[in-house]
Structure formats: structure tokens, C-alpha cells
Amino acid sequence: MNFFKSRFFILCLVAAIVLTLIPTLIAAFGGTDLLRSALGTVAKPFTMCGSGIANAFNGFVEIFTQYDELKEENAALREELEALKEKEYNEELLREQNAWLRDYINLCNEHPEFVFTDASVIAREAGNYSTVLTLNKGSAHGVKRNMPVLTSKGLLGYVSELGLDWCRVTTVIEPSSSVGVYTDRDGQLGVLEGDSQLKQNGLCRMSYIGGEGNVGIGDRVYTAGGKDSLYPSGLLIGTVSSVDIDEVTGEMVAEITPAVDFGALESVRNVMLISGIERDTGE
Amino acid sequence: MQNNIRESLFRPELLKRIVIYGLLTLLLGSAQCSFFPLLNICPSTPDLIMGMLLGIILIDSDKSAAVVAVAAGFFIDAIGGGAIALSPLVYCLFVLFISLFSRKMLTSFASFALLMIPALLYRGVATAVCMAIDRRALVPISELFGVIGPELLCTAIVCLPLYFAVKLCAIPLETHSKFTF
């Protein structure tokens, strides 16, 4: 064995021992080896590059090695997502139903004299501006022609067409509609009519304003009722949004913004029909 | 005297070796410390420096390998080592151990493959010793095999192509001088 006689080998071995001992001792005493940290800095771009390539390679290999696992996980997650969507949908339905029932109770408390029948909107007029709705209740459910139809916000219209288990509602803003009304401030009487132009903006007109014509913006408008009226007295229709003088007749006319947003009728899902009036409410 | 030392230090042959083996150490050391440990398909980190040293021993010389072993060991410990920096000593002794067998071998791939056997044996023993030093206790055989087995397998697989890499890098060195201790 001539290794131990070789000066070169002995030098290398001594260097190796020194380079083993010095960093170990420095680390043991909690110091920092400047040469090692410098080498680490020099090698940093290479190590970063190496780890980057390894990560990219792992990502590529995972496509093949974890395909089945990922597929199963994907299916499970899809199933879970469907279940959550279903749950959310059911919750949304319950929330809507709850809101509807609360409105229904409020309306019942507000008008204890009326007998209400609830109904849902099942179809809308196929035009761009729907003001005729189809409900899921008909003559079989006790619904009769000309019955007033309300939402929780206000008067919607009346039953204009009747089937066995369906009926159609013509809204108060239709040009064919005409209702006797009064304002809440001074009890000013008038007639609320549909207007083909105003209808486009979801509005209607109050005309034949009698007396001193004391109608102001913001006045609330209610149905006046009466013997020949389709509607009982005291149903909110809307508020006065502008007052003007008719150029032809010279009479005062007012534009009414209905409480029901006829521009967003698609959001109306549940309505109430006044199917009867109890004149004696326990008195 | 000073001129002689300067001349011997700045020989073009030596400078070439420093540059080539320095770059090779930088690349393989970085791969050993940052690429393979992160690779999911690789069950254990292969000892690329050992493969490189084996190639240098066979293609260049024991002397070159010994110097590279000390430098590469220090470098490996600097970028990925723990508190106990044993690598310079481990690699230096590795060169010494392998040079026992390599002197009468041809510089062929078959020789390289054959030398892998004692190299892997050495690697296994070195790993066992390093583990024992690290834990300051003997490591159970079953656990030892669990660590050494995959390490040796990965080292064998990854290091075999390294012969060609080292041979390619040694082309600019031109001379094939078989230095021995």
C-alpha cells in the first residue's frame, strides 16, 4: 500500500479532514462559515433552477401517475358540487317561500276583511313588455273572473280570463284597465287608466281629477271601491310621480308610479287573489 | 523556486481541469441537492458526485479525482449538508478505496460498470456510518436497508450514464495521464 507514502494523498486527506472539521466545529459553536455561505450563494441560481425543473417534471409526471386518482377526486368533487348546488337551490326556495309567507301574513293583517287565495305565476305574455300573467289557479280552485290580484307591494290587476286550473291577470297599467281611485292626502278622487305610452315605462295615468284638483307628487293612490268597481276600497296602487295639465281637455292629470314594479315583473312569482270579502270581521 | 511553483500552478492542463471539473461539480452538486430530492418518482437521492469521481478516476487520474473529491465534498456540504460536514472526508476516502481497484482497469464503460460494485458498497457503508454519527447511535438493520437500498439503486441507475458525461467533458483535457498515488 503506497497510498500512505504518497505526499499528494496525505495532503488531500489532511485537506479533507480540515474541511470536515472546520465547518463542523463552526456549526457546533453556532458560527457562520463564510466560505460555505459564499459557495451557497454561488450555487443558488443552479439550485433554484434544479428545484424549478424538478417541480415542473413532477407536475408533468403527476398527469400520468395520478390520473385515476385525480379522475376519482374530480368525480367526487363534481358530485359534492352538485349536492351543494341542490342544497343552495332548496335554501333559496325556502327563503323565497318564507318571504312570501311573511308578506302574506302582513297583508292578511292589513286587510282582515279579505279572503285570500294564493297563486303562483306560471307564464307571462310572450312580448317584450309583459303585463299579462298566467296563474296556476282556476275555476276549480274557486277563482272567478274579475277577482282582484295583489302582490305584497300593491295591486297587480284583475282576473280577465279563466280556465279550469289557470287564469290570466290583466294588470292595472294595461290601456283596457280603468279603476276608481283616491289619494291619501286629501282624498282626491280620480280614475286610474292604463296608457299605451306610459305603459312602456311601467307607469299609468290618473285623470278625471275632480274638485280642486289637489294632487301632489308623492301622494299615495288607493282604489276607491264602489258598487260597480272590480276592486274593493283601500288597495294601494302606487304614488303620484308627476302632475300636469292635459293639453286637449285642460284638466289636471297625474302620472302614477305603481307600487308593483311592472318593469321587473319577472321577479313576481307569487300573488294573492281576493277571493271573498267578509264584511263582518267579528264585530 | 517561486517561478517553478507558479508555472506548475498555472499550467493550462491544470486550469482546464479546474474549470471543467469545477463546472461539473457545480452542476451535479446542484442537481444532487436540489433536483433529485424534489423528484417524486425518485425514491432516494442518488450520489452523483460519487459517479463523477468514479468517472474521473477511470478516465483521468486518481490525483485529479482526489482533489475534486475534497472540493466537491465541501461544496455539497455547503449547499445541502447538515451540521456535521463529513462529505470531503467521505469522498476522499472513496477515491482512495476505488483507486485500489482501478489501476489495472481499462478506461471503458464496462470497467466503469464493474467499479460501480465496490463504489456502491462503499456508499452503503459510508451512509451507515454517517447515519450512526448523525444519531450518535447504531441504526437498526431494517431501517438501514430501508435507506441504503433505494439510495444504492438510484445511484446505480443515475450514475451509469455519468461515465459518458465525464468522458465528454474530459475531451478538452486531451492527455490521458494515469496518475497514481
Domain count within chain B = 1
B43: which chain A residues are within 8 Å (Cβ-Cβ)? Answer: none
User: Any idea what the CATH number is for the domain that residue A212 is in?
Assistant: 2.40.10.340
What distance in Å separates the CA atoms of residue A37 and residue A3, rounded to the nearest whole number? 33
Domain-embedded: residue B3:
no
* Beta-bridge partner residues of A123: A134
B41: which chain A residues are within 8 Å (Cβ-Cβ)? Answer: 58, 61, 65
Q: Is A39 near chain B, with CB under 8 Å?
A: yes
Judge contact between A204 and A258, C-beta under 8 A: yes
Q: Is A137 helix (H, G, I), strand (E, B) or coil?
A: coil
pTM of the predicted protein model:
0.53
Domain that holds residue B145: 14-171
Domain-embedded: residue B4:
no
Averaged over successive runs of 10 residues, the pLDDT of chain A (283 residues) comes to 72 88 82 77 84 86 81 93 94 86 82 82 66 83 87 86 86 85 86 84 84 81 84 89 84 89 72 69 39
What distance in Å separates the CA atoms of residue B10 and residue B14, rounded to the nearest whole number? 7
Question: How far apart, in Å, are the Cα atoms of A174 and each of A71, A196, A206, A234?
Answer: 57, 7, 13, 20
* Interface probe, candidates B75, B96, B136, chain A, greatest A C-beta count within 10 A: B96
Name the pLDDT band for B2 (thresholds 50, 70, 90): low
| Helices and strands, counts by H and E, chain A | 4, 12
* Beta-bridge partner residues of A244: A253
* Beta-bridge partner residues of A6: none
Domain-embedded: residue A246:
yes
Give residues with Cβ within 8 angstroms of A131, minimum separation 6.
Answer: A125, A157, A170, A171, A173, A174, A199, A262, A265
pLDDT tens per residue, range B83-129: 678 889 999 999 988 888 877 677 778 888 888 899 999 989 988 88
B80: which chain A residues are within 8 Å (Cβ-Cβ)? Answer: 47
Question: How far apart, in Å, are the Cα atoms of A183 and each of A12, A110, B92?
Answer: 109, 18, 105
The predicted structure's pLDDT at residue B179: 42
Chain B residue with the nearest C-alpha to that of A17: B89
Give residues with Cβ within 8 angstroms of A182, minimum separation 6.
Answer: A188, A189, A190, A221, A222, A224
The set of cell numbers assigned to B146 is 430501508
Chain A residue with the nearest C-alpha to that of B95: A9
Domain count within chain A = 1
Domain-embedded: residue B177:
no
Q: Is B129 near chain A, with CB under 8 Å?
A: no
The predicted structure's pLDDT at residue A78: 95
Domain-embedded: residue A153:
yes
Domain-embedded: residue B56:
yes
Pairs of residues, one from chain A and one from chain B, whose beta carbons lie less than 8 Å apart:
116
Judge contact between A132 and A171, C-beta under 8 A: yes
The predicted structure's pLDDT at residue A239: 92
Domain-embedded: residue B90:
yes
Contact A35 B78 (CB under 8 A): yes
The predicted structure's pLDDT at residue A277: 67
What values do phi and psi take at B14, rounded to 5?
Answer: -70, -45
Q: Is B78 near chain A, with CB under 8 Å?
A: yes
User: Any idea what the CATH number is for the domain that residue B18 is in?
Assistant: 1.10.1760.20
Q: Is B84 near chain A, with CB under 8 Å?
A: yes
The predicted structure's pLDDT at residue B3: 61
* More confident call, B5 vs A177: A177
Q: Write A3-11 long-range contacts (CB < 8 A, 24+).
A: A3/B96, A3/B99, A3/B181, A6/B181, A8/B63, A8/B66, A8/B181, A9/B66, A9/B96, A9/B181
Contact A20 B89 (CB under 8 A): yes
Domain-embedded: residue B95:
yes
The predicted structure's pLDDT at residue A266: 65
Domain-embedded: residue A32:
no
Contact A3 B96 (CB under 8 A): yes
Domain-embedded: residue B154:
yes
On the CB side of A196, CA atoms within 13 Å amount to 1
Domain-embedded: residue A93:
no
Judge contact between B45 and B30, C-beta under 8 A: no
The predicted structure's pLDDT at residue A283: 36
What distance in Å separates the CA atoms of residue A194 and residue A180, rounded to the nearest whole number? 12
Task: Among B31, B40, B74, select the one facing A19 at the smallest CB separation.
Answer: B74
What distance in Å separates the CA atoms of residue A181 and residue B69, rounded to the nearest whole number? 104
Distance from CA of B97 to the nearest CA of A (A): 10
* Interface probe, candidates A42, A47, A66, chain B, greatest B C-beta count within 10 A: A47
- DSSP string of A35-77? HHHHHHHHHHHHHHHHHHHHHHHHHHHHHHHTHHHHHHHHHHH
Domain-embedded: residue A282:
no
Contact A55 B63 (CB under 8 A): no
Contact A16 B69 (CB under 8 A): yes
Distance from CA of B92 to the nearest CA of A (A): 7
The predicted structure's pLDDT at residue A163: 86
Look at the block and give the residue holding cell 287573489: A273
Q: Is A16 near chain B, with CB under 8 Å?
A: yes
Q: First-to-last CA distance in chain B?
A: 24
Look at the block and give the residue holding cell 460555505: A36
Domain that holds residue A264: 111-277
The predicted structure's pLDDT at residue B7: 61
Chain A residue with the nearest C-alpha to that of B88: A16
The set of cell numbers assigned to B77 is 456540504
Name the pLDDT band for B138 (thresholds 50, 70, 90): confident
The predicted structure's pLDDT at residue A1: 45
Name the pLDDT band for B8 (thresholds 50, 70, 90): low
Show the beta-strand stretches assigned E in chain A.
114-124, 132-135, 148-150, 155-162, 167-171, 178-183, 189-193, 204-207, 220-223, 236-245, 252-258, 270-277
